[in-house]
Chain A
Amino acid sequence: MTSAAQQAGQSARHLGGAPVIRMIDVHKWYGEFHVLRDINLDVARGERIVICGPSGSGKSTLIRCINRLEEYQKGRIIVGDVELTNNIKRIDEVRREVGMVFQHFNLFPHLTILENCTLAPIWVRKIPKKEAEATAMRYLERVKIPEQAHKYPGQLSGGQQQRVAIARSLCMNPKIMLFDEPTSALDPEMVKEVLDTMVSLAMEGMTMLVVTHEMGFARQVADRVIFMDQGQIVEMNTPTEFFSNPQHERTKLFLGQILH
């Protein structure tokens, strides 16, 4: 990855102002199973947070609570100036401002790449088709696949599909982007093209929460790294501190297993 990206990640940036995401004492249960325990997290505008941890530790569940794909039983989550409640209008309002990229891309297989990107702008933002298509093409160029616009998702490689998924989210012009293990389902040679896209997005100042095991990416662009285990935030630190000087036994064990 580029040295410019490294600078962007490591340089001290001013992340001031009111937090764009506030999670206060959030708890979630699946039946008897306590998936999220006492989550407290403030995310500043433009901040990049990487969340890692063993499987089943609740990291995906945590970010899925932010756009209400998951309900939570206790605590508060405030996105921008909207508090998530059971009010459908508020959930819609939050979802419009928060983009999400999934492990398995979840592109709409019956629509072309271009239609995938224009569906939500047309039906949610009520933008004229021409305009939506122009925006979509701009973002497809940014993720470097404008020539695939009229193909269907099934005709693209995994890496290309994931870049389309990123472009599709960006077309809604979100203020926050959530990434749920975006490279875990990719062949190794395709991981880089997706990470490069995410790095360039980070350099433009997008607020990002990324669940990933790509520790190289965490080192380069993260402002903070969060380690989760058994539904709890165990450790939260700058990447330098996190990797060179982990505080908790569980963090050390985890890092020992994934860093060779």
Chain B
Amino acid sequence: MARTPPVQSPPPDRGDATGSWLYNPAVRGAAYQVALAAAVVLILYEASTNAIENMRRLGIVSGFGFWNAPAGFDINQRLISYSSTYSTYGEAFWVGLLNTLLVASAGIVLATVIGFVVGIARLSRNRIVSFLAACYVEFFRNIPLLLQLYVWYNAVLRALPAPRQSLSTADAVFLNNRGLFVPAPVFGEGSGLLLVAAVLACAAIAVFGRWARRDQDRTGRQHATGLVSLALFAGFMALGWFAAGRPVTFNVPDLRGFNIVGGLQIYPEFVALLLGLSIYTASFIAEIVRAGMLSVSRGQTEAAYSLGLRPGITQRLVIIPQAMRVIVPPLTSQLLNLTKNSSLAVAIGYPDLVQVFMGTVLNQTGQAIECVVITMLVYLLLSLLTSLAMNIYNRRVAIVER
């Protein structure tokens, strides 16, 4: 986009000769700014001296010395090795952060997928489909998220049977009130070959995609890129699987005594939080998607139809690209909301950053300022990174005007 050249600034306003400088807007503007700055400085000064005084009275030494002190408490869900006997507060921080990232990223993917499906379903010409989508949106959008989390956790997942009465499929998958137990893959010798196969498959898909586009440019033929990609991936993986001599075995969960042993345990807290966040946020995303699709004028569809384009191609090449520029900015805020709302984990005991670090660690160490500042910075950083990524994407889909 061409920028307009900067406007030549007018000569500075010297006020009119008869009036007082009190009536000069420039002077007034400066005065307000000075007053505001002074107020901010005063508040910061009061807050910090107050905090320092309080800490002195309570005998808390500020600083980050606690970071390497032993934590001495347990966390059930951990993506890195952690134990109450040897791990530090710093490691507890990383466990909490990774748990937040896990539930937020899974939630972002799930909420976006559900949101798009429901949003498009609500525009369906099939009355039943659009009615169901509308019910979904109005129901989940209008109930507080905290309440939904309690329902998912207490009414749905806690109500599952005890381990001995687990719901199980093929004696390999168990569902009970301690969570979902699935076979855990154990990567044996030669597993690296699978990774190589996956990389090769992706490369082959990329090459095929490029060839397909070039071939269409050259001859006009269209190719079923999606189907071929799927086949390529499956083929390469199967080849790698057998070439490496079936390297992956599964650690199948097993009922022993009163508990399930082995396998991969997915905790009910995680499932409840993931479902709650995704389903709640998806109801907002659905409305954003619907608004985006409706923002593209009817004339665009008519023009595409009058050129002979089929409805599917019209959606893909004409409507959705234009809807995306309307959808992306509010979608970004919803994804940020989801990430920040994941801190409601505290309510159902999912060990996320807030529960671990601002809860247990803060309580044990009393380092309130350090813990709060670090946690706030983490969320700030996460949000800024998310919006940066979305802004880059948004710039790519923006429409050139003038």
Chain A residues close to B by CB (< 8 Å): 67, 69, 92, 95-96, 98-100, 102, 104, 106-110, 119-120, 122-131, 152, 154-155, 165, 168-169, 172, 178
Residue numbers in B under 8 Å from A102 (CB-CB): 299, 302-303
In the assembled complex, the Cα of A155 lies from the Cα of B1 at a distance in Å of 10
Query: Is B307 at the interface (CB under 8 A from chain A)?
Result: yes
Q: Which residues of B contact A98 (CB under 8 A)?
A: 306
Partner pick for B299 among A95, A106, A126, CB 8 A cutoff: A106
Give 29 pairs: A residue, B residue, CB < 8 Å, sorted on A.
Answer: A67-B305, A92-B310, A95-B305, A95-B306, A95-B307, A95-B308, A96-B308, A102-B303, A104-B299, A106-B300, A106-B302, A106-B303, A108-B322, A109-B401, A120-B304, A123-B313, A124-B308, A124-B309, A125-B220, A126-B221, A126-B222, A127-B220, A128-B220, A130-B218, A152-B401, A155-B400, A155-B401, A155-B402, A169-B307
Given contact pairs A123-B313, A128-B218, A109 touches B307 in the complex (Cβ within 8 A): no
Partner among A99, A123, A128 whose Cβ is within 8 Å of the Cβ of B217: A128
With A119-B317, A152-B401 as known contacts, state yes or no: A128 contacts B219, CB within 8 Å: yes
List, in ascending order, chain B residues with CB within 8 A of A152's CB: 399-401
**Interface status of B321 (Cβ within 8 A of chain A):** yes
What 16 new A-B contacts, CB under 8 Å, besides A110-B321, A119-B307?
Answer: A67-B306, A99-B307, A102-B303, A104-B299, A106-B299, A108-B303, A122-B220, A123-B309, A126-B221, A126-B222, A128-B216, A131-B220, A152-B401, A155-B400, A165-B303, A178-B306
A110 in contact with B399 (CB, 8 Å): yes
Q: How far is the CA of A100 from the CA of B306 in the complex (A)?
A: 6
Output the nearest chain A residue to B310 by Cβ-Cβ distance.
A92
Interface residues of B (CB under 8 A from A): 216-222, 297, 299-300, 302-310, 313, 317-318, 321-322, 325, 397, 399-402
B101 to chain A, nearest CB (A): 34
Residue of A nearest to B2 (CB): A155
Report Cα–Cα, A54/B304, bound state, in Å.
Answer: 28
Complex Cα distance, B306 from A178, in Å, reads 10
CA A119 to CA B305, docked complex, whole Å: 12
Residue of A nearest to B397 (CB): A110
The 7 closest A-B pairs by CB, nearest first: A154-B401, A106-B303, A129-B217, A120-B307, A100-B306, A126-B220, A106-B299
A126 to B218, CA, bound (A): 10
Minimum CB distance partner of A69 in chain B: B302
For A125, the chain B residues whose CB sits under 8 A away are 220
Residue in chain B with minimal CB distance to A178:
B306
Per the bound structure, the CA–CA distance linking A119 and B303 in Å amounts to 12
What residue in chain A is nearest B213 (Cβ atoms)? Answer: A129
Question: Measured between alpha carbons, how far is A110 from B321 in the docked complex, in Å?
Answer: 7
Contacting residues, chain A, for B397 (C-beta < 8 A): 110
Alpha-carbon distance between A99 and B304 when the two chains are bound, in angstroms: 11
Nearest chain A CB to B216's CB is how many angstroms away?
7
Q: Which A residues touch B322, using CB under 8 A? A: 108-110
| Chain B residues, CB < 8 A from A104 | 299
**B306 → chain A closest CB, angstroms:** 4
Which one of B222, B303, B306, B317 has the greatest number of beta carbons of chain A within 10 Å?
B306
Min CB gap A161→B, angstroms: 12
Q: B1 to nearest A CB, angstroms?
A: 10
Q: Are the CB atoms of B307 and A168 closer together than 8 Å?
A: yes
Whole-angstrom CA separation of A98 from B325 in the bound complex: 31
Smallest beta-carbon distance B245→chain A, Å: 46
Distance of A119 from chain B, by nearest CB (Å): 7
Chain B residue contacts of A120, Cβ below 8 A: 304, 307-309
Min CB distance B326 to A, Å, is 12
Which among A96, A110, A154 has the highest number of chain B CB atoms within 10 Å? A110
Nearest CB in chain B to that of A97: its residue = B308
State whether A129 touches B302 (Cβ < 8 A). no
Report Cα–Cα, A129/B310, bound state, in Å: 19
In angstroms, Cα B307 to Cα A119, docked, is: 9
- Taking a contact as CB atoms under 8 Å apart, the answer to whether A154 and B306 are in contact is no
Contact B305 A69 (CB under 8 A): yes
